[in-house]
Amino acid sequence: MSASDELFAMHLADMRLRGLAEDTTIYARRCAIGRLAEWLDVPVEDATAADLLAWRTALTVSPKSVGPYTDHVRGYYAWLVRTGYRPDNPAAGLPVPRSHRSLPRPIREGDLDRALAAARGRVRPWLVLAGWGGFRATEIAYLRRENVDDTAAQPSILIDGKGGKQRVVPASTFVLAELRAYGLPARGLIFRRHDGRPGPNRPWLISKLANDCLHRSGTNATLHQLRHRCLTLLYQETLDLRLVQELAGHSSPATTAVYTLISNAKAAQALEALPAPRRLRAVLPDG
């Protein structure tokens, strides 16, 4: 193992100690820095700002993917600065395309009903957790029996969320019934791997199997759109952005605010109710 490889291995070990997800965040960091290393003519830790700008200019990924790539590169160099291996972060000024606010894409209720009726085995509770609990695929993968408190007056689920953040989500009667029907183990992971290997299912596998089920039922929706559905309906029901932010596990209310845009019907109703003159103004000639 080269000195550069050893240094990067230390960085990944630090990410694990900070509780970052192995199958998502750490995997993506490994891929991003690996591709950067292949492109550079110098060791990654020795790259200059000019080297990284040339790498950024040569990127051929979609504009939407540029941000995550540069974030991983910035993160590695920030760690090198923090641990004293570099005096500066040469990736700090890398330009990224301006992000555009996107609208949520909740699955249609009819499509969800058909998919749920067609789902079999472990896929059905995955759909339920996403559509009625707002779970991400990685959160489904790491869900443990110890984190489901189904005996309290208000049952709840402790979720190990994105970036190592935990949150508590109330468990509805429907969600608990579906989990119990699937079969809650005495302890450990609720959804065990079918290949017999230890550890959780890969989040990508959960997404793939759930998406396959959705597509077979006649919709192009994805598992993540069930999360959109949950958060959108939750906001419409409560009109409480802070509550939805907490249950979604968003670090910023700006991310959660996307889910308020779907409630234009209530805004239109409120505007229609504003007092207005009984008589419409006469149409006068210009000038």
Q: Is the pLDDT of residue 287 over 50?
A: no
Name residues whose C-beta falls within 8 Å of residue 80's C-beta, 6 or more positions apart in sequence.
Answer: 7, 11, 45, 86, 89
Higher pLDDT, 287 or 27: 27
Higher pLDDT, 160 or 83: 83
Higher pLDDT, 4 or 277: 4
Higher pLDDT, 1 or 204: 204
Mean pLDDT of the 148-174 span? 87
Residues of the chain by 3-state class (helix, strand, coil), percent to 5: 60, 5, 35
- How would you classify the pairing of strands 166-170 and 148-149? unpaired
Q: Is the pLDDT of residue 97 over 60?
A: yes
The pLDDT assigned to 59 comes to 87
CB 87, CB 173: distance < 8 Å: no
Q: What is the pTM of this model?
A: 0.70
**Domain ranges, ordered by start, for the chain:** 3-82, 109-264
Q: Is the pLDDT of residue 285 over 80?
A: no
Mean pLDDT of the 245-273 span? 76
Mean pLDDT of the 135-147 span? 94
- pLDDT tens, 176-193? 999 999 999 999 999 999
The pLDDT assigned to 54 comes to 95
Q: Is the pLDDT of residue 67 over 80?
A: yes
Name the class of domain 109-264. mainly alpha
Mean pLDDT of the 215-235 span? 93
Residue among 234, 128, 218, 133 nearest 180 (CA): 128
Q: Which of 71-80, 105-114, 250-259 has the lowest mean pLDDT?
A: 250-259
CB 162, CB 138: distance < 8 Å: yes
Highest mean pLDDT (candidates 18-22, 57-61, 100-104, 145-149): 145-149
Q: How crowded is the C-beta side of 206, counted as CA atoms within 13 Å?
A: 28
The pLDDT assigned to 1 comes to 67
Q: What separation in angstroms does the CA of 8 have from each of 82, 201, 202?
A: 14, 26, 23
| pLDDT, mean over the chain | 88
- How would you classify the pairing of strands 156-160 and 148-149? antiparallel
The pLDDT assigned to 43 comes to 94
Q: Is the pLDDT of residue 109 over 90?
A: yes
Mean pLDDT of the 116-140 span? 94
Q: What separation in angstroms does the CA of 148 have from each of 136, 156, 176, 242?
A: 16, 6, 9, 23
**Quick check: helix, strand or coil at residue 1?**
coil
d(CA 59, CA 12): 24
Tell me the two tokens of residue 139: 């959160």
Q: What are φ and ψ of residue 169, in 5° steps? A: -120, 125
